[in-house]
Amino acid sequence: MRELFDEVAGHSPLDPEEAVRRATRTPQRKRFYKEAGIAPADGGFAVTLDGKPIRTPSRRQVVAPASAIAEAIAEEWNAQGETIDPLTMPLTRFANSVAEVTDRVDAVAEDVAKYLGSDLLFYRAGHPEALVAREAAHWDPVLSWAANELGAHFILSEGIVHVAQPEQAIKAARGVFPADPWSVAALHVVTTLTGSALLALALFRGAMDSDDVWAAAHVDDDWNVEKWGVDEEVAARRAARFIDFRAAVTILDALKA
Protein backbone atom coordinates (compact mmCIF):
# COMPACT_ATOMS: atom_id res chain seq x y z
CA MET A 1 0.00 0.00 0.00
CA ARG A 2 2.76 2.45 0.88
CA GLU A 3 4.54 2.10 -2.46
CA LEU A 4 1.36 2.57 -4.45
CA PHE A 5 0.23 5.58 -2.45
CA ASP A 6 3.69 7.07 -2.67
CA GLU A 7 3.63 6.88 -6.45
CA VAL A 8 -0.03 7.66 -7.05
CA ALA A 9 -0.84 10.34 -4.52
CA GLY A 10 2.75 11.28 -3.80
CA HIS A 11 4.19 13.09 -0.83
CA SER A 12 2.22 15.96 -2.27
CA PRO A 13 3.25 19.54 -1.51
CA LEU A 14 0.51 22.01 -0.68
CA ASP A 15 1.51 24.01 -3.74
CA PRO A 16 -1.08 22.63 -6.19
CA GLU A 17 0.93 23.41 -9.31
CA GLU A 18 3.91 21.45 -8.01
CA ALA A 19 1.56 18.62 -7.02
CA VAL A 20 0.28 18.46 -10.59
CA ARG A 21 3.82 18.50 -11.99
CA ARG A 22 4.83 15.61 -9.75
CA ALA A 23 1.69 13.68 -10.61
CA THR A 24 2.32 14.20 -14.31
CA ARG A 25 5.81 12.71 -13.96
CA THR A 26 4.46 9.67 -12.09
CA PRO A 27 3.96 6.51 -14.18
CA GLN A 28 0.37 5.36 -14.02
CA ARG A 29 -0.19 2.15 -12.09
CA LYS A 30 -2.75 -0.54 -12.67
CA ARG A 31 -5.75 -0.56 -10.38
CA PHE A 32 -5.17 -3.30 -7.83
CA TYR A 33 -8.26 -2.95 -5.61
CA LYS A 34 -11.93 -3.70 -6.20
CA GLU A 35 -13.65 -1.05 -4.12
CA ALA A 36 -12.95 2.08 -2.11
CA GLY A 37 -15.03 2.94 0.91
CA ILE A 38 -14.95 4.76 4.22
CA ALA A 39 -14.84 3.63 7.84
CA PRO A 40 -15.02 5.38 11.22
CA ALA A 41 -11.61 6.28 12.64
CA ASP A 42 -10.19 8.29 15.50
CA GLY A 43 -10.82 11.92 14.64
CA GLY A 44 -13.13 11.27 11.70
CA PHE A 45 -13.36 8.86 8.79
CA ALA A 46 -10.76 6.76 7.04
CA VAL A 47 -10.75 6.04 3.33
CA THR A 48 -10.30 2.33 2.62
CA LEU A 49 -9.32 0.21 -0.36
CA ASP A 50 -10.85 -3.24 -0.01
CA GLY A 51 -11.22 -2.52 3.69
CA LYS A 52 -7.63 -1.35 4.29
CA PRO A 53 -7.09 2.33 5.16
CA ILE A 54 -4.91 4.39 2.84
CA ARG A 55 -1.75 5.83 4.32
CA THR A 56 0.81 8.43 3.36
CA PRO A 57 4.42 7.52 2.42
CA SER A 58 5.42 8.15 6.04
CA ARG A 59 2.74 5.66 7.13
CA ARG A 60 0.33 8.24 8.47
CA GLN A 61 -3.28 7.20 8.10
CA VAL A 62 -5.45 9.58 6.10
CA VAL A 63 -8.39 10.57 8.30
CA ALA A 64 -10.96 13.03 6.98
CA PRO A 65 -12.79 15.18 9.53
CA ALA A 66 -16.17 14.77 7.82
CA SER A 67 -17.84 11.81 6.16
CA ALA A 68 -18.63 13.89 3.07
CA ILE A 69 -14.90 14.50 2.51
CA ALA A 70 -14.01 10.84 2.99
CA GLU A 71 -16.79 9.81 0.61
CA ALA A 72 -15.59 12.28 -2.03
CA ILE A 73 -12.04 10.88 -1.77
CA ALA A 74 -13.35 7.33 -2.02
CA GLU A 75 -15.29 8.35 -5.14
CA GLU A 76 -12.03 9.40 -6.77
CA TRP A 77 -10.58 5.93 -6.18
CA ASN A 78 -13.77 4.20 -7.35
CA ALA A 79 -13.80 6.32 -10.51
CA GLN A 80 -10.41 4.98 -11.65
CA GLY A 81 -10.33 2.59 -14.57
CA GLU A 82 -7.76 -0.07 -15.30
CA THR A 83 -5.00 2.40 -14.46
CA ILE A 84 -4.86 5.02 -11.73
CA ASP A 85 -4.52 8.62 -12.93
CA PRO A 86 -3.34 10.98 -10.17
CA LEU A 87 -4.45 14.04 -12.14
CA THR A 88 -8.07 12.98 -11.59
CA MET A 89 -7.56 12.67 -7.83
CA PRO A 90 -7.12 16.21 -6.42
CA LEU A 91 -8.88 15.40 -3.14
CA THR A 92 -6.63 12.38 -2.61
CA ARG A 93 -3.54 14.50 -3.14
CA PHE A 94 -4.99 17.15 -0.84
CA ALA A 95 -5.73 14.62 1.91
CA ASN A 96 -2.24 13.16 1.64
CA SER A 97 -0.73 16.61 2.04
CA VAL A 98 -2.86 17.43 5.07
CA ALA A 99 -1.87 14.20 6.79
CA GLU A 100 1.79 15.06 6.27
CA VAL A 101 1.54 18.61 7.66
CA THR A 102 -0.76 17.98 10.62
CA ASP A 103 2.07 18.74 13.03
CA ARG A 104 3.14 21.83 11.04
CA VAL A 105 -0.15 23.70 10.77
CA ASP A 106 1.32 26.94 12.12
CA ALA A 107 4.03 26.89 9.46
CA VAL A 108 1.44 26.43 6.72
CA ALA A 109 -0.65 29.28 8.14
CA GLU A 110 2.40 31.53 8.27
CA ASP A 111 3.07 30.77 4.63
CA VAL A 112 -0.44 32.02 3.85
CA ALA A 113 0.13 35.09 6.03
CA LYS A 114 3.10 36.10 3.89
CA TYR A 115 0.67 36.93 1.10
CA LEU A 116 -0.91 39.59 3.30
CA GLY A 117 2.19 41.65 2.73
CA SER A 118 1.99 41.50 -1.06
CA ASP A 119 -1.56 40.46 -1.91
CA LEU A 120 -2.77 40.51 -5.51
CA LEU A 121 -5.50 42.98 -4.61
CA PHE A 122 -3.05 45.68 -3.49
CA TYR A 123 -1.39 46.24 -6.86
CA ARG A 124 -3.53 48.07 -9.41
CA ALA A 125 -3.22 48.93 -13.06
CA GLY A 126 -2.78 52.62 -13.86
CA HIS A 127 -4.41 52.28 -17.27
CA PRO A 128 -6.45 51.69 -19.35
CA GLU A 129 -9.43 53.11 -17.50
CA ALA A 130 -11.64 50.12 -18.28
CA LEU A 131 -9.18 47.72 -16.64
CA VAL A 132 -8.75 50.05 -13.67
CA ALA A 133 -12.52 50.08 -13.24
CA ARG A 134 -12.78 46.31 -13.59
CA GLU A 135 -10.12 45.67 -10.94
CA ALA A 136 -11.87 48.09 -8.61
CA ALA A 137 -15.24 46.41 -9.16
CA HIS A 138 -13.86 42.98 -8.25
CA TRP A 139 -11.29 43.91 -5.62
CA ASP A 140 -12.53 46.97 -3.74
CA PRO A 141 -15.45 45.11 -2.08
CA VAL A 142 -12.98 42.58 -0.67
CA LEU A 143 -10.78 45.31 0.78
CA SER A 144 -13.84 47.05 2.24
CA TRP A 145 -14.91 43.78 3.82
CA ALA A 146 -11.46 43.29 5.32
CA ALA A 147 -11.50 46.81 6.72
CA ASN A 148 -15.05 46.73 8.08
CA GLU A 149 -15.28 43.13 9.26
CA LEU A 150 -11.69 42.29 10.19
CA GLY A 151 -10.35 45.72 11.08
CA ALA A 152 -7.61 45.22 8.48
CA HIS A 153 -6.88 48.42 6.56
CA PHE A 154 -4.45 47.82 3.70
CA ILE A 155 -2.63 50.22 1.37
CA LEU A 156 -3.00 50.13 -2.43
CA SER A 157 -0.29 50.76 -4.98
CA GLU A 158 -0.28 51.47 -8.70
CA GLY A 159 1.93 49.15 -10.72
CA ILE A 160 4.25 46.54 -9.24
CA VAL A 161 6.36 48.63 -6.88
CA HIS A 162 6.22 46.99 -3.47
CA VAL A 163 4.42 48.88 -0.71
CA ALA A 164 4.85 47.88 2.93
CA GLN A 165 1.57 47.01 4.59
CA PRO A 166 0.69 48.09 8.15
CA GLU A 167 1.57 45.42 10.68
CA GLN A 168 -1.74 46.06 12.40
CA ALA A 169 -3.64 45.19 9.21
CA ILE A 170 -1.65 42.00 8.69
CA LYS A 171 -2.14 41.02 12.32
CA ALA A 172 -5.89 41.65 12.14
CA ALA A 173 -6.31 39.47 9.07
CA ARG A 174 -3.97 36.79 10.43
CA GLY A 175 -6.04 36.69 13.59
CA VAL A 176 -9.06 35.17 11.85
CA PHE A 177 -7.19 32.30 10.21
CA PRO A 178 -8.62 28.86 11.01
CA ALA A 179 -6.66 26.50 13.24
CA ASP A 180 -7.63 23.02 12.05
CA PRO A 181 -5.32 21.36 9.50
CA TRP A 182 -7.89 20.82 6.77
CA SER A 183 -9.16 24.40 6.77
CA VAL A 184 -5.64 25.81 6.89
CA ALA A 185 -4.59 23.59 4.00
CA ALA A 186 -7.61 24.66 1.96
CA LEU A 187 -6.83 28.28 2.75
CA HIS A 188 -3.26 27.71 1.58
CA VAL A 189 -4.34 26.11 -1.70
CA VAL A 190 -6.79 28.91 -2.52
CA THR A 191 -4.22 31.55 -1.61
CA THR A 192 -1.46 30.10 -3.78
CA LEU A 193 -3.83 29.57 -6.70
CA THR A 194 -5.28 33.08 -6.60
CA GLY A 195 -2.28 35.01 -5.32
CA SER A 196 -4.50 36.49 -2.65
CA ALA A 197 -4.86 35.57 1.02
CA LEU A 198 -7.71 38.08 1.22
CA LEU A 199 -9.70 36.28 -1.46
CA ALA A 200 -9.06 33.00 0.35
CA LEU A 201 -10.19 34.51 3.65
CA ALA A 202 -13.31 35.99 2.04
CA LEU A 203 -14.17 32.55 0.70
CA PHE A 204 -13.48 30.85 4.03
CA ARG A 205 -15.57 33.38 5.95
CA GLY A 206 -18.47 33.25 3.49
CA ALA A 207 -18.07 36.83 2.28
CA MET A 208 -17.64 35.65 -1.34
CA ASP A 209 -18.68 32.55 -3.25
CA SER A 210 -16.19 30.44 -5.15
CA ASP A 211 -17.21 31.72 -8.60
CA ASP A 212 -16.64 35.33 -7.56
CA VAL A 213 -13.29 34.46 -5.98
CA TRP A 214 -12.07 32.70 -9.12
CA ALA A 215 -13.24 35.59 -11.31
CA ALA A 216 -11.58 38.16 -9.05
CA ALA A 217 -8.33 36.24 -9.20
CA HIS A 218 -8.29 36.37 -12.99
CA VAL A 219 -9.39 39.92 -13.76
CA ASP A 220 -6.13 40.77 -15.50
CA ASP A 221 -5.91 37.43 -17.29
CA ASP A 222 -9.46 37.73 -18.61
CA TRP A 223 -8.74 41.25 -19.76
CA ASN A 224 -5.75 40.02 -21.75
CA VAL A 225 -7.81 37.22 -23.28
CA GLU A 226 -10.42 39.73 -24.43
CA LYS A 227 -7.76 41.92 -26.01
CA TRP A 228 -5.29 39.39 -27.41
CA GLY A 229 -7.11 36.08 -27.56
CA VAL A 230 -6.60 32.78 -25.76
CA ASP A 231 -3.12 31.41 -25.13
CA GLU A 232 -3.68 27.66 -25.15
CA GLU A 233 -0.79 26.90 -22.80
CA VAL A 234 -1.97 29.50 -20.29
CA ALA A 235 -5.54 28.21 -20.58
CA ALA A 236 -4.39 24.65 -19.91
CA ARG A 237 -2.50 25.71 -16.77
CA ARG A 238 -5.53 27.64 -15.58
CA ALA A 239 -7.78 24.62 -16.11
CA ALA A 240 -5.38 22.43 -14.10
CA ARG A 241 -5.32 24.97 -11.27
CA PHE A 242 -9.10 25.14 -11.28
CA ILE A 243 -9.30 21.42 -10.52
CA ASP A 244 -7.34 21.98 -7.31
CA PHE A 245 -9.33 25.13 -6.54
CA ARG A 246 -12.58 23.15 -6.75
CA ALA A 247 -11.09 20.48 -4.47
CA ALA A 248 -10.27 23.11 -1.84
CA VAL A 249 -13.78 24.56 -2.16
CA THR A 250 -15.23 21.07 -1.70
CA ILE A 251 -13.24 20.71 1.52
CA LEU A 252 -14.38 24.07 2.88
CA ASP A 253 -18.02 23.42 1.99
CA ALA A 254 -17.95 20.05 3.71
CA LEU A 255 -16.39 21.51 6.85
CA LYS A 256 -19.10 24.18 7.03
CA ALA A 257 -21.95 21.68 6.58
Mean pLDDT on 141-152: 98
Is residue 21 predicted with pLDDT exceeding 60?
A: no
Percent of the chain with pLDDT over 90: 81
Mean pLDDT on 92-107: 91
Confidence of residue 19 (pLDDT cuts 50, 70, 90): low
CA dihedral of 12, 18, 24, 27, whole degrees rounded to 10: -40
- Cα gap 46→36, rounded to integer Å: 11
Polymer length of the chain:
257
State which of 22-31, 55-64, 65-74, 96-105 shows the largest mean pLDDT.
Answer: 65-74
pLDDT in tens, 148-183: 999 999 999 999 889 999 999 999 999 999 999 999
- The residues spanned by each domain of the chain are 2-103, 106-256
Selected from 3.20.20.80, 3.30.1320.10, 3.30.70.20, 3.30.2180.10, the CATH number assigned to the domain covering 2-103 reads 3.30.2180.10
Is residue 15 predicted with pLDDT exceeding 60?
A: no
Is residue 6 predicted with pLDDT exceeding 90?
A: no
* Pair 38, 47: CB distance under 8 Å: yes
- Count Cβ atoms within 10 A of the Cβ of residue 94 and give its class: 0-12 exposed, 13-18 middle, 19 or more buried: buried
* Pair 101, 185: CB distance under 8 Å: yes
Question: CATH classification of 106-256 is 1.10.3580.10, yes or no?
Answer: yes
Confidence of residue 18 (pLDDT cuts 50, 70, 90): low
pLDDT in tens, 46-57: 999 999 999 887
Domains 2-103 and 106-256 share a fold: no
pLDDT attached to residue 25: 54
Confidence of residue 7 (pLDDT cuts 50, 70, 90): very low
- Cα gap 247→86, rounded to integer Å: 14
Q: What is the mean pLDDT of the chain?
A: 90
Confidence of residue 37 (pLDDT cuts 50, 70, 90): very high
Q: Which residue has the higher pLDDT, 142 or 28?
A: 142
Confidence of residue 59 (pLDDT cuts 50, 70, 90): confident
